[in-house]
């Protein structure tokens, strides 16, 4: 199945209303997420967990045959506590960039909540 594409919210300074985020449902858990035109070093994730137990979110390492020459260090897993929120990132491009300037995220089975992708503007 194709991963669900998420568009980052720009953190460009000034005034920004708090975005609601994208609902993590069975489709996102099954298919995963792709961030297109990603810049890992300026990408930050806000993940909320509405499940009754801690759940894991995984930032996938890039393949060793591509631009992520440090991808051999493996994926980054972090646990989001029940009814909790985690801010994750920024990330190393050398480890997490996929072919085509993409980032991939996966969620543990049963994960529910929201995810918001932020991209920090250059020069902030």
- The residue extents of the domains of the chain are 4-11+20-120
State the residue for tokens 């909320």.
48
CA 95/CA 98 separation, integer angstroms: 9
Instruction: Give, for all 124 residues of the chain, the pLDDT tens digit.
Output: 799 999 999 988 777 888 999 999 999 999 999 999 999 999 999 999 999 999 999 999 997 666 777 888 899 999 999 999 999 999 999 999 999 999 999 999 999 999 999 999 886 5
Nearest alpha carbon to residue 104 among 6, 13, 11, 25? 6
State the residue for tokens 């929201």.
114
Q: Report long-range pairs for 72-76 (Cβ below 8 Å, ≥24 apart).
A: none
The CATH number of the domain covering residues in 4-11+20-120: 2.60.120
State the residue for tokens 């300026």.
42
Which residues make Cβ contacts (< 8 Å) with residue 55, sequence separation at least 6?
49, 79, 80, 107, 108, 110, 111, 113
CA 36/CA 71 separation, integer angstroms: 18
Whether pTM > 0.85 for this model: the answer is yes
């Amino acid at each position: 199945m194709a991963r669900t594409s998420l568009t980052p919210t720009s953190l460009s300074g000034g005034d920004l209303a708090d975005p609601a985020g994208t609902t993590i449902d069975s489709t996102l858990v099954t298919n995963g997420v792709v961030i297109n035109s990603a810049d890992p070093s300026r990408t930050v994730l806000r993940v909320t967990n509405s499940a009754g137990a801690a759940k894991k979110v995984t930032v996938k390492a890039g393949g060793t045959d591509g631009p992520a020459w440090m991808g051999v260090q493996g994926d980054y897993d972090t646990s989001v506590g029940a009814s909790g929120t985690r801010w994750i990132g920024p990330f190393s491009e050398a480890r997490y960039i996929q072919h085509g300037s993409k980032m991939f995220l996966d969620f543990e089975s049963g994960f529910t909540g929201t995810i918001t992708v932020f991209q920090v503007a250059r020069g902030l």
